[in-house]
Structure 1
């Protein structure tokens, strides 16, 4: 009998050990699976953006460095999804937005939208203004997810934040910029209008006109002087300045951050922000479908977008008459 009991006891122990081992192995595999899923979601699910969190801060990084993080058809939606993910994460207090590589964001990908003959960035005439508005308004709302995020958003600009890239940056609550970086909305010269209209709310009437009636791009130093960004610092100090501000905010309870931001944002909403953006988005479509806008699209297709942009920004091309300006003739007339 004792032999039988001993064998039974040993069998029970072995079974128990196997069961316990299986239990912990199963828990490990489930945990590991969840970790892999999180890493996959954070790093691989988003094709144009990298998303990570660390120490109460969510880091959203535009991740198309090979084309200076230019905006394609997917990036605006993924940006909004990352903002939503950060807002749904109870461990996140602050969101920091930046760009990978040499620039923050160079704007919409003109090799795709302007130079490509197969892309209907300009519709065949007669064009449907509401179809255009519906598409562009969706992108405006994607960008504005940064402004309407419950949690504060900080934008870190290095390199360029141009055209649509400036739209994204200006939707953030606070911008810190490298002295050497540039920001501007050059498409106001031809083929665009800033759909978020945030220039007016950040700069006021006269300074907004100074920027949008010239299409100039300015350095971080001048952007700080104009009041467009909170602070401009040397490139080597930018990361540290952003980290200090983000970590300072991250020590505040989330509910306090939400309340203060909602209260401040409501002032802009009361000033008619949504109505202004409706007009701006409609005007963007009109700008691209005006005779001059179509001339720019055709020029981009024939000589390449880089040449067309150079002519646009230098003011050497007459988009109404579709010929280069005769600079010498104009100089003689002025004399």
Structure 2
């Protein structure tokens, strides 16, 4: 039985007791816009409502899983950045809704598996790490580069998956790691050669699909409750507030102004190079600064 549908930015298909959710903005490396965020929970709900679906697989179309927020909109055009006097609760409501959209994958009654190829970075890592299981290609990359400036991972799943020391290692540098290292550290379940990624995911999904749905739901709810007992929701509230602050701090405004002036590629290049980010903000670099 097949139940295929494209919402617009998320493609939905079913076969063999599995629902396939495909982030479908390949021309933008599946970068997050408002529509994509809103459509993830719609697709998850559809899968949960289908008695023939036992397992949900999340994947990305094209060359990447998800490259994070679409910086063409959010950095260059300033979408989501308020005026100098800003309302933190307005920002919190916007970002908390996005966090809840991604976390529909974690809250889904049925198990979710992220199949990561290419990149799952910045907000894309939030989406991947919201799944119950993550399998990466060996050469795929995962990380949260906006930890250097202009972001805080709102789902907070880095610390819950890695522990404090390695979460700090990632979020105090903004570095990325490949699938092999992510699996070695326990950030993701396993990695596989790129040509074997589909088969590895299918094998795990098929194994789960043979379990009755009610059994899957009860095991998942029990495990998730342990994380809730550890304060997961409260940590996400704090992280979501901090994300808004990072984008409206003097340094965050400097980064957004840089992107608006020179394009987000140049802004990201500066941020990720380790070059000095002016504390307290400062003038946006000129073209000669970039060339130098």
TM class by smaller structure: over 0.9
Describe the shift of the 1:77–1:324 C-alpha distance in structure 2 as closer, same or farther (beyond 3 A). closer
Count of residues in correspondence between the two structures: 283
Q: Structure 1 stretches (4+) deviating beyond 3 angstroms?
A: 321-325
Structure 2 unaligned runs (5+)?
286-292
How far has the Cα of 1:323 moved from its partner? 6.7
Query: 1: distance between equivalents of 2:103 and 2:116?
Result: 17
- SS of aligned partner of 1:59: strand
Which residue among 220, 243, 255 is the counterpart of 2:202? 243
- SS of aligned partner of 1:114: helix
Contact 1:317 1:324 in 2 (8 A): no
Q: Residue in 2 aligned with 1:256?
A: 215
Q: Residue in 1 aligned with 2:23?
A: 62
**Is 1:121 paired with 2:80?**
yes
Contact 1:51 1:60 in 2 (8 A): yes
Query: 1: distance between equivalents of 2:80 and 2:259?
Result: 12
Give per-residue Cα distances to partners, 1:115-141, cap 9 Å, x unaligned: 11xx44210021000000011000000
Give per-residue Cα distances to partners, 1:212-240, cap 9 Å, x unaligned: 11100000011011110110111000000
- SS of aligned partner of 2:27: helix
TM-score (norm. length: structure 2): 0.95
Contact 2:254 2:284 in 1 (8 A): no
Query: 1: distance between equivalents of 2:56 and 2:170?
Result: 28
Query: 1: distance between equivalents of 2:25 and 2:150?
Result: 23
Query: 1: distance between equivalents of 2:284 and 2:179?
Result: 32
- Matched ranges for 1:36-55 at <5 A: 39=4, 42-43=5-6, 46-55=7-16
Query: 1: distance between equivalents of 2:194 and 2:284?
Result: 38
How far has the Cα of 1:318 moved from its partner? 2.1
Which residue among 159, 181, 192 is the counterpart of 1:233? 192
Contact 1:317 1:323 in 2 (8 A): no
| Structure possessing the higher radius of gyration over alpha carbons | 1
Q: Residue in 1 aligned with 2:252?
A: 293
Q: Residue in 2 aligned with 1:83?
A: 44
Give per-residue Cα distances to partners, 1:226-279, cap 9 Å, x unaligned: 110110111000000000000010000000000000000000000000000000
Structure 1 unaligned runs (5+)?
1-34, 326-335
Contact 1:65 1:102 in 2 (8 A): yes
Structure with the larger helix share = 1
